[in-house]
Amino acid sequence: MMATTTSLERWGIVGGGMLGMTLALRLAQQGKDVTLFEAADHLGGLASAWSLRDVVWDRHYHVTLLSDTSLRSLLTELGLEKEMQWVETRTGFYTDGELYSMSNTLEFLRFPPLNLIDKLRLGATIFYASKIRDWRRLEKIPVADWLRRWSGDHTLERIWLPLLRAKLGENYTKTSAAFIWATIARMYAARRTGLKKEMFGYVPGGYARVLERFGQKLAAEKINIKLRHAAHRLAPANGSGVRIEFENGQRETFDQVVVTVAAPLAARICPDLSEEEKARLKGIEYQGIVCASLLLKQPLANFYVTNITDSWVPFTAVIEMSALVDRKTFGGNALVYLPKYVTSDDPFFTASDEEVKESFTTALLRMYPHLLQSDLLCFRVSRVRYVHAISTLNYSQRLPATATSLPGVHIVNSAHIVNGTLNVNETVQLAEKAAEKFSSLPDSLFRIRHV
Ligand SMILES: Cc1cc2nc3c(=O)[nH]c(=O)nc-3n(C[C@H](O)[C@H](O)[C@H](O)COP(=O)(O)OP(=O)(O)OC[C@H]3O[C@@H](n4cnc5c(N)ncnc54)[C@H](O)[C@@H]3O)c2cc1C
């Protein structure tokens, strides 16, 4: 006679970024037996940290907003929220070779490149966008058409197009107005959540500290964390379940697997999906990034973000992290990021570190004449081909479902953020919604195994 035992349902999660980590935590809290697989030798993905000399900080700049309630709840669970530092930061605008502060209404009204009518229309565009609730109708309209309609030709050319190109490159032509709506909605999130003003915050120690504590929490929840496990292929297991084959030659079988990596990578590791599913995944277009981190002896201008409209500048913004985080954290130095957003197949990905350094520092020295070559202490380059999905026209209808035709295989990734921008708060929300959905899958609490 066959013996019957009750065992926990085994879940495998592919991808140890903030999405995979949050999902792992929530599934374990539902009583599932969870293993988290990460290709790199550390957790955190885009949010992970690295070193510039002896300074350890985020590989890509990160701030938390006061209105990021899901992330703040997670940080509370990790015992870190109470330590957060909140700062009111300033914003700069580099245009026509001049650096302007754009941190309040008066400075906006003084901003020379636009006349008063342009400014009123620009202000009205942002205010109007912040009031729109039905974002779906914006998905049908190209972003530049929508902005031209509300802000006029001059402001489109002088302000919006440079900003769109900065974030989307020439992919802005494929992008819908829902993108600008989501960006503005994030700017106004504080007011929507009843806060008077927005503030930027960080956990002392940056994401290195968040990830260390998060890793400890996952271990305490008995989640098995396997680093250096790049999933190579998912396939139906003999009998039932899903087999994951790893590039290191190992194999493991699970009842359910959730893939959290970017859509084209998900299509690659799940070759048994239907042709239609693979086409949908591959059809999602991504922006990538080449992002330099610089340690400088002296600050630049103390704006957290400086937007750039001059096309000769090879990077798309200047992020001065030390305008937010005390310079003592960086050994008294300034920490600056120079991001360049590019399409995922841009030839700039093949530029060497030296080439990136040469072109970025030449421009930086021209933009900030007080800066000297000898102020540059350290320069490191991060390259990521798949950062965020582009909100193409009718994006929400082109999105692949989370459930797939392969029994036990689910795909959830940042491309599923349909009405928001890419940020950790949205990522945490996505993971939590997915975990809730998985909790009500039939047969999901306990599984009867026949042995
Ligand atoms: C330049 C930049 C600035 C940002 N600024 C902010 C900010 O200010 N505030 C904010 O809240 N958010 C910010 N973000 C966004 C934030 O980093 C993301 O929302 C979040 O990190 C996404 O997490 P994820 O798990 O979805 O993706 P990822 O972090 O990309 O995680 C995916 C993981 O899967 C792993 N993987 C890939 N292939 C495989 C495989 N075959 N097998 C196993 N593992 C695999 C990867 O190594 C990676 O660790 C920024 C991002 C960037 C790039």
Q: Are 55 and 335 in contact (CB under 8 A)?
A: yes
Helix (H) or strand (E) holding 260: none
Give the nearest ligand 1 atom to 291 CA.
Answer: 1
Give the nearest ligand 1 atom to 63 CA.
Answer: 8
CB-defined site of ligand 1, < 6 Å = 14-20, 37-40, 45-47, 60-63, 230-231, 260-261, 265, 269, 289, 291, 339, 387, 413-414, 422-425, 427
399, burial (CB in 10 Å: exposed 0-12, middle 13-18, buried 19+): middle
| CA 371 to centroid of ligand 1, rounded, Å | 32
| CA 291 to centroid of ligand 1, rounded, Å | 14
Query: Which residue in 13, 389, 345, 259 sits closest to 267, CA to CA?
Result: 259
Q: Are 125 and 156 in contact (CB under 8 A)?
A: no
Is the alpha carbon torsion for 431, 383, 336, 126 positive or negative?
Answer: negative
Q: Are 364 and 320 in contact (CB under 8 A)?
A: no
* C-alpha–C-alpha distance, residues 148 and 417, integer Å: 26
DSSP type of residue 104: S
What helix, strand, coil percent values describe the chain, rounded to 5? 40, 25, 35
Tell me the pLDDT of the chain (451 aa) as tens digits.
Answer: 444 445 789 999 999 999 999 999 999 999 999 999 999 999 999 999 999 999 999 999 999 999 899 999 999 999 999 999 999 888 999 999 999 998 888 888 888 888 999 989 988 998 888 888 888 889 999 999 999 999 999 999 988 998 898 888 888 999 999 999 998 888 777 655 666 677 899 999 999 999 999 999 999 999 999 999 999 999 999 878 999 999 999 999 999 999 999 999 999 999 999 999 999 999 999 999 999 999 999 999 999 999 999 989 999 999 999 999 999 999 999 999 999 999 999 999 999 999 999 999 999 999 999 999 999 999 999 999 999 999 999 999 888 899 999 999 999 999 999 878 899 999 999 999 999 999 987 654 444 343 2
| CA 46 to centroid of ligand 1, rounded, Å | 3
What is the separation of C-alpha 4 from the centre of its chain, rounded to a whole number of angstroms? 45
Give the nearest ligand 1 atom to 426 CA.
Answer: 19
| CA 238 to centroid of ligand 1, rounded, Å | 33
Q: Which amino acid is at 116?
A: L
Query: Which residue in 50, 89, 92 sits closest to 318, CA to CA?
Result: 92
Residue 258 DSSP SS3: strand
Q: What is the pLDDT of residue 136?
A: 87
Give the nearest ligand 1 atom to 430 CA.
Answer: 26
Query: Which residue in 152, 70, 75, 80 sits closest to 118, CA to CA?
Result: 152
